[in-house]
Structure 1
Amino acid sequence: MASKKLIGKDLKKLGFPEGRAIGEAMRVMESAYKGKSILHKKSMLKKVLENPALYAKHETLGPIATALMISKISNKPLEMRQKRIPYSIYGVEGIEPGAINQMEIAMRLPVTKSGALMPDAHQGYGLPIGGVLATENAVIPYGVGVDIGCRMCMTLYDIPPAYVHQNTEELEKMLLDNTRFGQSAFKRPKDHAVLDNSLFGEINIVKSLKDKAWKQIGSSGGGNHFVEFGIGEILTEDNEMGLSPGKYLSVLSHSGSRGLGANIARHYTKLAMDMTKLPSEAKHLAWLDLDSEAGQEYWLAMNLAGDYASACHHQIHERLAKALGERPLAMVENHHNFAWKEQDADGNEIIVHRKGATPAGDGVMGIIPGSMTSPGFIVKGKGVNESINSAAHGAGRLMSRTKAKQSLSKKEVKQHIKKAGITLIGSGLDEAPQVYKDIYEVMDRQKDLVDVVGTFQPKVVRMCGANEAKGKYQEVD
């Protein structure tokens, strides 16, 4: 029989339910099996309909199988808790009402066990940025965030701080030659073992992102991501790095998992929202059960994205170490926008989501940056149960990107940066220092959560410029 285009009526006769499954079946059949006869198409679809779980990981039929499995789940929204679970707020006076409202909603989820709100918190999607949420056997993709595994990484060198002032132009050139931002990438990306991970051949969404991951490795995102030369100062002997108190030339970077993490987040957020129906005010907090195939897949993909983000930072620091002609004395690294399997005070396993929050378990090292004109802090966690072993991940936004563009002028921002003695490459009004909270106030509000063992003062800063955001910047070598 000659090839024929399937229509919805054909699929309903086969037994397909109304909705997404029909759309996916028609799309897949006309893209991957266009030349096949209608009998052949119906035969394949009937097999998927009879046992969708068997085809869930099939390269082409997988989306149909997933849609069929989702269709079996009731569309009736799940009931939220009538009363929210109590949670700790650090620095409530500095947190906008929208962020608190989002946390209130999160604390009413049926899977929620505990929560905390950090002093840098501000409104986001689903869980607020600066929100920490512990759940039982469930992972919330939007509780992790879009930039999975976004992290801080710092290296310190046996080079005196005066080097920064004496060699500013050389450091600018090092940043221009050895970092890429936004849509720009290296013409010759460096290889890394993370790209050999078997998940790139096992999970469909991850498989489709391998080329993008290879092209973007070693680069940074746009927005608030940066790479900076500055002066790191170690303040105490008890710093877990084996460094003597004093000042060191340092490099600090902030970025995440690039297009790999963003696409994983979008894919599984949509899947979670299809599978876990919640009231409209809570829909972005939809979760995946970790006993489900989708939940297990997301967990593996999330961890891969975290490893990839770390690899990007390591390559950034390797390139700059080579340009400096020095090996770093120490490296400090921590991440946020992630979910961890941890234990609560009673020894029960919990899934801890830290969306824009730093792990601060007992003795755990981390970095909490300020703005480009204010210091960051090297910290050691105190392991406070009420904060779910967490702390802030930065100063936190005081002003939205839209408001920043409307209320700030290029002239006043430029003067502010110059007065602070900062050399800036790239960035825009939406990342001006004035859009951030006072880092000293943020640190004071979490003094019970972390000990400060050092500081970092930015001096030469690179962020995403307008051309890089559009992909117009190219490597010269």
Structure 2
Amino acid sequence: MIFNVDIFMEKNITAADLLSLGYTEGKALGLALQATKTSAGITLDVLTDLLAQPGQFLGHEYLSAVANQLMNDQVPDETISLREAGDGYAIFGEDNIEAGARSQMDIAMRLPVTAGGALMPDAHQGYGLPIGGVLATRNAVIPYGVGVDIGCRMALSIFDIPEAFFTENRARFQRELIAQTSFGAGAGFQGRFKADHAVLERPEFRQTALLKQLQDRAHAQLGSSGGGNHFVEWGIIGFAEDDPALGVVKGRYVALLSHSGSRGLGATIAGHYTRLAKDLCKLPQEAANLAYLGLESEAGQEYWMAMNLAGDYASACHEVIHSKMTVAMGGQLLAKIENHHNFAWKETWNGENVIVHRKGATPAAKGILGIIPGSMTAPGFLVRGKGDVQSIQSASHGAGRQMSRTKAIASISKQDMRALLKANDVTLIGAGLDEAPMAYKNIHQVMAAQTDLVDVVAMFEPKIVRMADDGSKED
């Protein structure tokens, strides 16, 4: 929503004025009074609109705190009912999927807008839709079905650099990896170190008040990576046979692999529209995080525009990273592959036009290339999709966690982690115990559970891995 507030100041708005509008005694009233003293544009008409639709003011410069409080104070007066029983859905690698993920998927299948679903073999519990969950809906998009890190993706650059050159110059590869990347929640670049990209000039940044406010932050964070499981790593990729479609012949090559998303831009968009969806789409408590926006609505159209902008911005971040590393290390680029997850697509499935949410799932339409990483000591896989209908043309987006961050920190020692890194000849820069390889499922078991979904094209072996050095979570 674009705010067109009255430019004339309305003097001396009092508590009595707000009570007459329908405000009640409490924190929201106090915050609203404080806001009227901050901005001349806050009139009684604006405050009336705010009370009626607080979700529309979550991106407002002065009234967002009031809007948040009003939404917290609201008691839903109308709840959208779930279907008594959802349709069945395909589960891949069922034996290694926790009950919490199953339960979340069961609830998602009961939404009145759901057309179909599937669970990937790396699935685990998340917020709303489980990570590794795929959900097709009819004319509706679920912000938490997309996820907080909108457009999070993988990017792989394959160079004509032989493995022997990497071995002889490993220190240089490590030095440049540190010099050319920035990691962690809030991380970015300043001054002459900031990158430029055409995505920053996109007209969408001028379409809503929220996106206008985020443009400068997006510029500062362009080409940086978040915390949590985000990484940039050098490794060796091996092709057991020629791949004419990709243009790479049998052999082993130096490759750069990165995993990160849309940074603060995507996180803020996700938070804003999730709160708005919860305000407009009141679901039972167990399904509250699956609140959806109709694509025909103003809010749904705004989110769809912002989501696609965030996805393109995430791609631009990878482009900047790979470009900088290519300049630093040289070599001819043989191929570049990229795919994203944490996104929603308009697709045709089972003869029906649907919105496919892949929250931590890789697109795997027939012939489409994708990258499925393991962990910092386990291989990743370059794959080609088979277009399986049951999986809604999807595959896993990684190995998937087998223990929570808290449990990993409590149960894994630094000594054990160092020993595993050494045994696999991996140099680690940054990362906490919450990202230790032992916290993840066995990638080979995950891949074995999805042979109907993808064909393996090549295997990537991590050698120098950089992650956030503070163990910070994803933006």
Same fold by TM-score greater than 0.5: yes
Structure 2 residue 33 is matched with structure 1 residue 30 = no
Q: Which amino acid counterpart does residue 159 of structure 1 have in structure 2? A: I
Deviation at 1:29, TM superposition (A): 2.8
**Contact 1:373–1:433, Cα closer than 8 Å, also in 2:** yes
Determine the C-alpha separation between the residues in 1 that align with 2:98 and 2:172: 42
Query: Alpha-carbon deviations, 1:39-85, whole Å to 9, x = none?
Result: x9336656x589989x9899669969999x99999622211110111
Q: Partner residue of 2:11?
A: 3
Structure 2 residue 344 is matched with structure 1 residue 339 = yes
Determine the C-alpha separation between the residues in 1 that align with 2:393 and 2:67: 36
Deviation at 1:445, TM superposition (A): 0.2
Match of 2:231 among 215, 221, 226: 226
Query: Alpha-carbon deviations, 1:392-413, whole Å to 9, x = none?
Result: 0000001110001000110111
Match of 1:261 among 252, 262, 266: 266
**Contact 2:156–2:256, Cα closer than 8 Å, also in 1:** yes
Determine the C-alpha separation between the residues in 2 that align with 1:283 and 1:57: 18
Determine the C-alpha separation between the residues in 1 that align with 2:130 and 2:361: 10
Q: Partner residue of 2:3?
A: none
Deviation at 1:17, TM superposition (A): 9.0
**Contact 2:161–2:332, Cα closer than 8 Å, also in 1:** no
1:93-104 pair list within 5 angstroms: 93-104=95-106
**Contact 1:229–1:250, Cα closer than 8 Å, also in 2:** yes
Structure 2 residue 286 is matched with structure 1 residue 281 = yes
Q: Partner residue of 1:474?
A: none
Determine the C-alpha separation between the residues in 1 that align with 2:167 and 2:289: 47
Q: Which amino acid counterpart does residue 206 of structure 2 have in structure 1? A: G
Structure 2 residue 208 is matched with structure 1 residue 203 = yes
Match of 1:381 among 370, 382, 385: 385
Match of 2:165 among 138, 163, 166: 163
- 1:395/1:85 CA distance change after superposition, 3 Å: same
**Contact 2:50–2:67, Cα closer than 8 Å, also in 1:** no
**Contact 1:122–1:129, Cα closer than 8 Å, also in 2:** yes
**Contact 2:23–2:51, Cα closer than 8 Å, also in 1:** no
Q: What root-mean-square deviation, in Å, do the aligned CA atoms of Structure 1 and Structure 2 show?
A: 2.9
- 1:350/1:27 CA distance change after superposition, 3 Å: farther
1:167-316 pair list within 5 angstroms: 167-182=169-184, 183-187=186-190, 188-238=193-243, 240-316=245-321
Deviation at 1:19, TM superposition (A): 9.8
- 1:250/1:21 CA distance change after superposition, 3 Å: same
Determine the C-alpha separation between the residues in 1 that align with 2:230 and 2:87: 34
Determine the C-alpha separation between the residues in 2 that align with 1:208 and 1:461: 34
Structure 2 residue 157 is matched with structure 1 residue 139 = no
**Contact 2:32–2:66, Cα closer than 8 Å, also in 1:** no
Q: Partner residue of 2:374?
A: 370
1:422-433 pair list within 5 angstroms: 422-433=426-437
Deviation at 1:199, TM superposition (A): 1.6
**Contact 1:164–1:459, Cα closer than 8 Å, also in 2:** no
Q: Which amino acid counterpart does residue 402 of structure 1 have in structure 2? A: T
Between 196-205 and 428-437, the greater mean CA deviation after superposition: 196-205
Determine the C-alpha separation between the residues in 2 that align with 1:240 and 1:24: 60
Query: Alpha-carbon deviations, 1:193-222, whole Å to 9, x = none?
Result: 111111212211111111111111000001
Q: Which amino acid counterpart does residue 181 of structure 1 have in structure 2? A: F
**Contact 1:16–1:49, Cα closer than 8 Å, also in 2:** no
Determine the C-alpha separation between the residues in 2 that align with 1:101 and 1:72: 27
Query: 5+ residue gaps in structure 2?
Result: 1-8
Deviation at 1:4, TM superposition (A): 1.7
Query: Alpha-carbon deviations, 1:64-109, whole Å to 9, x = none?
Result: 9999x99999622211110111100001001011111110111111
Query: 5+ residue gaps in structure 1?
Result: 471-477
Deviation at 1:30, TM superposition (A): 3.2
SS at match of 2:179: helix
Q: Partner residue of 1:396?
A: 400
Query: Alpha-carbon deviations, 1:115-174, whole Å to 9, x = none?
Result: 000000011111000000000111000000000000000000011011222111111101
Q: Which amino acid counterpart does residue 257 of structure 1 have in structure 2? A: S
- 1:63/1:429 CA distance change after superposition, 3 Å: closer
**Contact 1:149–1:256, Cα closer than 8 Å, also in 2:** yes
Q: Partner residue of 2:4?
A: none
Q: Which amino acid counterpart does residue 102 of structure 1 have in structure 2? A: Q
**Contact 1:240–1:365, Cα closer than 8 Å, also in 2:** no
Q: Which amino acid counterpart does residue 112 of structure 2 have in structure 1? A: P
Q: Partner residue of 2:459?
A: 455
Deviation at 1:14, TM superposition (A): 4.0
Q: Partner residue of 2:353?
A: 349
Name the count of aligned residue pairs. 459
Identity %: 53
Q: Which amino acid counterpart does residue 185 of structure 1 have in structure 2? A: G
Determine the C-alpha separation between the residues in 2 that align with 1:276 and 1:19: 25
Q: Which amino acid counterpart does residue 397 of structure 1 have in structure 2? A: R
Deviation at 1:13, TM superposition (A): 2.4
- 1:65/1:435 CA distance change after superposition, 3 Å: closer
1:398-437 pair list within 5 angstroms: 398-437=402-441
**Contact 1:32–1:60, Cα closer than 8 Å, also in 2:** no
**Contact 1:92–1:119, Cα closer than 8 Å, also in 2:** yes
**Contact 2:278–2:289, Cα closer than 8 Å, also in 1:** yes
State the TM-score, normalizing by the size of structure 1.
0.89
Q: Partner residue of 1:110?
A: 112
Q: Which amino acid counterpart does residue 4 of structure 1 have in structure 2? A: N
Determine the C-alpha separation between the residues in 2 that align with 1:144 and 1:181: 23
- 1:217/1:429 CA distance change after superposition, 3 Å: same
- 1:45/1:99 CA distance change after superposition, 3 Å: closer
**Contact 1:231–1:457, Cα closer than 8 Å, also in 2:** yes
Between 372-381 and 23-32, the greater mean CA deviation after superposition: 23-32
Determine the C-alpha separation between the residues in 2 that align with 1:289 and 1:20: 32
- 1:248/1:418 CA distance change after superposition, 3 Å: same
Determine the C-alpha separation between the residues in 1 that align with 2:51 and 2:410: 56
Determine the C-alpha separation between the residues in 2 that align with 1:23 and 1:283: 28
Query: Alpha-carbon deviations, 1:334-383, whole Å to 9, x = none?
Result: 0000000101121x210000000000001110000001111100000000
